Amino acid sequence: MARFGQVLVVALCLTIAVFPDTTTAQLRNDFYKNSCPNVEEIVKKVVKDKVKQTFVTIPATLRLFFHDCFVNGCDASVLIQSTPNNKAEKDHPDNVSLAGDGFDVVIKAKKALDAIPSCRNKVSCADILTLATRDVVVEAKGPWYPVELGRFDAAHTVGFAHCSKVFNRIYNFNRTHSVDPTLNKDYAKQLQDACPKKVDPRIAINIDPETPKTFDNIYFKNLQQGKGLFTSDQVLFTDGRSRPTVNAWAKDNAAFNRAFVKAMTKLGRVGVKTSRNGNIRRDCGAFN
């Protein structure tokens, strides 16, 4: 499972329990049945074409969905561009590393939908991002799952990694160890080769060294071998509270897929906007 930002996937599956297991009445699978019945096929085609251009589309879209939903809910607020009078959410320090391909796939899907008269300005950018997220998971041979639709966009503002994120762990961990002792020695050498001391810190590296282009449970098997890229990854195995979950998902890929689908569905229900406090944006990057 590569460049998926596995730490985000794991965070979804391990911490999604903080959100209540409820749904919103307006969300349903056939929300666009009458207004834009082919919405899913249209978005899927755009995603397929974009993934053919660059695989980065997959982790970029998944991470974009995560960042959008965990800040005031799934309302496409992260897509808004900054203006001279307003610094947008996407330019917050926590979001500046979001890859442009995630934004691009939403913009292209919006354009494709608006090219169809019956669909023009009918599908929210939030729903487009939610559908695209499911579709990139499928493109990476992950599980297909039904997507609840009917979100409105925010009407006001509110996996891969870079070498800079692992330098301390592989060169200057602490006063006693230059390399994090919990890191697999062979994997540490692999990371040092990929990120030499004088390399551009913006260079991207795979989070999953084994199956970097497949959505699977190898990430958890890597943790069992001390191959977690970040300390925050590896602690999921070294901490006795989360180790049983890591072991269970390392053993059973189907169990991980079920947990992932449940987590994504619950996350997609967070902070859903209605027509009273949201709208359908004409441009995903700007308020109406």
Binding-site residues? 68, 71, 73, 75, 77, 89, 156-157, 208, 211, 216
- Which class for 117: exposed (0-12), middle (13-18), buried (19 or more C-beta within 10 A)? exposed
Strand, coil or helix: 21? coil
User: What is the C-alpha to C-alpha distance for residues 195 and 272, in angstroms, rounded to an integer?
Assistant: 41
User: What is the C-alpha to C-alpha distance for residues 3 and 229, in angstroms, rounded to an integer?
Assistant: 11
In the annotated binding site for Ca(2+), the residues are: 68, 71, 73, 75, 77, 89, 157, 208, 211, 216
Buried/exposed 51-87: b ≥16 CB within 10 Å, e otherwise: beeebbbbbbbbbbbbbbbbbbbbbbbbbbeeeeeee
In the annotated binding site for heme b, the residues are: 156
Quote the distance between the C-alpha of residue 244 and its chain's center.
24
Encoded amino acid at 176, one letter? T
67 is catalytic: yes
Q: Decide: 164 and 28 in contact? Cβ < 8 Å.
A: no
Neighbours of 159 (CB within 10 A): 25
Residues 6+ apart with CB under 8 A from 240: none
Point out the residues that are catalytic: 67
